[in-house]
Structure 1
Amino acid sequence: MHILFLHSNYPAQFGEIAANLVAQHGDRCTFVNERVSGDQQGVKCVTYRPASGATKQTHFCAATFENQIWRSHAAAESVAQLFRSNGALAHDRPDLIVAHSGFVSALFLKEVLPEVPVVGYFEYFYHRYNSDFDFRSDLPPQSELSAMRLQARNAMLLLDLHHCEAGYCPTDFQREQIPAEYQPKLQTIFDGINTDFWKRDASLSESHATQRMVAGVTIQPYEKVVTYVSRGFESMRGSDQFLKVADQVCKKRSDVRVIVVGEDRIAYGGDARFTDGKTFRQWVIDNNDLDLSRIHFVGRVSREELIRVFSVSDAHLYWTVPFVLSWSMLNAMSCSCPVIASNTAPVQEMVRNGQNGLLVDFFDIERWVECVLQTLESPPETQRMGSNARQTIEQNYCLTSCLDKMRSLYQNVRMR
């Protein structure tokens, strides 16, 4: 089977999947994206370059759609050149297109390869109320124009939902955000966690008798480690809540060291509307009396170093508003971390309170502090939850089982 993957980025959700399809099933995979070209682990990567995009004259509410059109047109032209040049034969063309509906769309590929069915990957459908948009009611509200833009952001998603043959979402929560008339087209299939890679480094987790160095942070034998991981530092991932909790935990226990992984930027949401030109992290620090002496911001780290961070973690903290789930939480669970997470969707699908982690109200700082302290004071209970977390990933979210579900979907759509 020859599968053409389409995404604005690489490897994103499809890179590891494509490489495994090539290695384990002998499939051919072409990955059309905006960044990487050439052979990548047996996957043929082809780039596209948008000729233009939204400008200052583009209406604020239309900018996302304008950029999607330019990217999708460029992707279609790149695919047309790939399969129409040099007298390419029909058997060189893909049997299936798998496309992420977000920054780019497979809509125009239907014109280039009209006979090839499309499976859509739908990450998030936006809603005005009871959603990520209005969840942080404790912060300055979004503008009316931003609310209008939110509705318009679904335009390309709706086109992709209408035109695809089938699709999937990574969690039930994300699938349930899709309009009801399209949900029968969709399955829930998670992206998959490579449990052979994401596993605890026993040499670090069992070496409490010696000093350890992780992500540039020196950890003394007697110290407990609390971890937090996020691509950026924003309110949608509860970064402000985390700092308040970490500060109080450090004040109550002198043997705690906190490692924070992620960049000092806003990756999601509109926090810049009220931070007066500062990063959200700096805004939080400036507006709270925090002792940061044992809270270490280590920036972005490699995947290998992140495993080392998880391997020394005695408590991993994770917040999210109802939105797309971070891979980092599941990677932490795969590394047998005791996870304390916000009691929000879609976290509730993975974390069972008291079994493989703890769930806490997003805003209840006092309860968060209690749960962290209890976790740090109960090593046997911590080990039990971490072991159960690993088992949850192995049984339900490992790459092998998710890949089998994806390939079954791909084959079924191809044979229609």
Structure 2
Amino acid sequence: MRILLVHKNFPGQFRYLAPALTKAGHKVGVLTWENNKNPRSLPTAEYKYQPRKTKGLSGFYTDNVENGAAAAMRAWQLSKAGDAPDVVFGSINWGETLFLKEVWPSARLLGYAEFLYATEGRDTGFDPEFSRETPESKIRTIARTGHLVLAATRADALLSPTKWQASTFPDELQSKISVIHDGVDTDRIAPDPSAQYQVPGGPLLTAKDEVITFVNRNLEPYRGYHIFMRALPKLMAQRPNLRVVLVGGNGSGYGPTHASGKSWKDIFLEEVSDRVDHSRLHFTGRVLYSDLLNILRIGRAHLYLTYPFVLSWSMLEAMSLGCVVVGSATAPVQEVIQDRVNGHLVDFFDHEALADRLAEICANPDAQQGIRAQARQHIIDTYDLRRVCLPQLMDFVETAGA
């Protein structure tokens, strides 16, 4: 088949699927934003669109509809050249698939439905420290759902990576949704007792050291960075040999920037600065993927906190590595982790209890061997790339919505 993958930041969720489709003999092409700097090896067409710098209350909806229009106009150019896909599979996050059914009405249109915002029960309003409910905030949230629902209704079939993320979409769309994760390469992402990591300008760390890891694309409240930082004074006092490795950038991430213009990293580091041992606190910034895996491998515990939002690949990858994951008792995490079975769950906001649980794990690492084994086995059984997810993903692309 001729398959067009559409994603503003390709490959994104198609990083494993795209090469698998090509290997299976399908002719695969890509439609993406011209500002996407990710490397690509497939035939690619780019569309041009510049988001507005200032947004009104409905700005998210307007931006994504116009982004979708730009993608459709580029698609029309492709159609005039005789390029007609049998299947179009795209993320609905940025409106790119909104109008593609008008360009190729006979193609099956598949949508990657990652998450639907709501004014309550999900990320919006979850953390009262940063979210105040106002008429304006409600309008902005609903405006962020407009293009997502429209794109979902236009699609012939939808895919969500987890059950909880699928459940965020309206009941009338549920019959369209298949729940299939992108997959975890458990063959590559596996434990290695010999792993080590050289902290830039710091010590060489191995699994013999007492290390806790924390990984986010950006160090931000959405992923509980502020809660972890507030747990550190008590935790570091209880564990005088503990080292903490934090991986992540300084951007605003999924939420807004701080009013001062400072990074969230600096805001919360300053808050606890006089109560932590900076010589045992290691901020790496963003790192190579191979380094990330080794950082996770050496940890006695890996912390993953999140609002009720999209589940990060990093948590599942940490479990595949046999990490002892301490996660927030929020819906996306609870779908995967059972407390004290294949990981640990803590109240998102209770930094005191978090410090105690991490100290308990560090004090008796041998007691966690069963949890490590259960964590990896759960990923192999449920999220393994080659044996579970890829076959389901291939079947979805080849048959869904027919």
Common fold, TM-score beyond 0.5?
yes
Other-structure match for 2:72:
76
Deviations 1:307-353 (A, max 9, x none): 11111111100100101011111111111111011011110111111
* 1:107 aligned onto 2:98: yes
- For residues 224 and 310 of structure 1, the distance between their equivalents in structure 2, rounded to whole angstroms, comes to 12
Q: Which amino acid aligns with 2:267?
A: W
* 1:251 aligned onto 2:247: no
Deviation at 1:142, TM superposition (A): 4.9
Q: Give runs of aligned pairs for residues 187-206 of structure 1, distance below 5 A.
A: 187-204=178-195
Cα distance, 1:342–1:302 mapped onto 2, change above 3 Å: same
* 1:388 aligned onto 2:379: no
- For residues 260 and 281 of structure 2, the distance between their equivalents in structure 1, rounded to whole angstroms, comes to 24
- For residues 172 and 200 of structure 2, the distance between their equivalents in structure 1, rounded to whole angstroms, comes to 48
- For residues 197 and 215 of structure 1, the distance between their equivalents in structure 2, rounded to whole angstroms, comes to 25
Larger RCO, structure (CA 8 Å, separation 6 or more)? 2
* 1:364 aligned onto 2:350: yes
Other-structure match for 2:47:
48
Gapped runs of 5+ residues in structure 1? 206-211
Q: Give runs of aligned pairs for residues 311-330 of structure 1, distance below 5 A.
A: 311-330=297-316
Deviations 1:47-88 (A, max 9, x none): 2112x44354x5x12221222123212222222323422xx3
Of the candidates 252, 264, 279, which is equivalent to residue 280 of structure 1? 264
Of the candidates 275, 281, 285, which is equivalent to residue 299 of structure 1? 285
Deviation at 1:118, TM superposition (A): 0.7
Other-structure match for 2:2:
2
Contact 1:37 1:44 in 2 (8 A): no
Q: Give runs of aligned pairs for residues 194-233 of structure 1, distance below 5 A.
A: 194-204=185-195, 213-214=198-199, 217-219=202-204, 223-233=209-219
Q: Which amino acid aligns with 1:286?
A: E
TM-score by length of 2: 0.92
Other-structure match for 1:116:
107
Deviation at 1:174, TM superposition (A): 0.9
Gapped runs of 5+ residues in structure 2? none
SS at structure 2 position matched to 1:98: strand
- For residues 123 and 217 of structure 1, the distance between their equivalents in structure 2, rounded to whole angstroms, comes to 39
Of the candidates 348, 352, 357, which is equivalent to residue 338 of structure 2? 352
Other-structure match for 2:389:
402
Deviations 1:125-158 (A, max 9, x none): 1111122111112446254312211011111111
- For residues 37 and 238 of structure 2, the distance between their equivalents in structure 1, rounded to whole angstroms, comes to 51
Contact 1:30 1:44 in 2 (8 A): yes
SS at structure 2 position matched to 1:13: helix
Other-structure match for 1:338:
324
Deviations 1:361-395 (A, max 9, x none): 11122221121112112222223212221111111
Deviation at 1:283, TM superposition (A): 1.8
Contact 1:198 1:335 in 2 (8 A): yes
Deviations 1:237-289 (A, max 9, x none): 110111122332211111110000001121012352xx422222222233334
- For residues 140 and 94 of structure 1, the distance between their equivalents in structure 2, rounded to whole angstroms, comes to 43
Identity of aligned residues (%): 32
**388-397 or 14-23, which deviates more:** 14-23
- For residues 171 and 205 of structure 2, the distance between their equivalents in structure 1, rounded to whole angstroms, comes to 54
* 1:238 aligned onto 2:224: yes
- The alignment yields a C-alpha RMSD, in angstroms, of 2.1
SS at structure 2 position matched to 1:350: coil
- For residues 7 and 151 of structure 1, the distance between their equivalents in structure 2, rounded to whole angstroms, comes to 23
How many residue pairs were aligned?
A: 397
Other-structure match for 1:18:
18
- For residues 104 and 68 of structure 1, the distance between their equivalents in structure 2, rounded to whole angstroms, comes to 5
- For residues 242 and 94 of structure 1, the distance between their equivalents in structure 2, rounded to whole angstroms, comes to 47
Cα distance, 1:302–1:202 mapped onto 2, change above 3 Å: same
Deviations 1:167-188 (A, max 9, x none): 0111111111111111111121
Contact 1:215 1:305 in 2 (8 A): no
TM-score by length of 1: 0.89
- For residues 110 and 336 of structure 1, the distance between their equivalents in structure 2, rounded to whole angstroms, comes to 44
- For residues 308 and 38 of structure 2, the distance between their equivalents in structure 1, rounded to whole angstroms, comes to 37
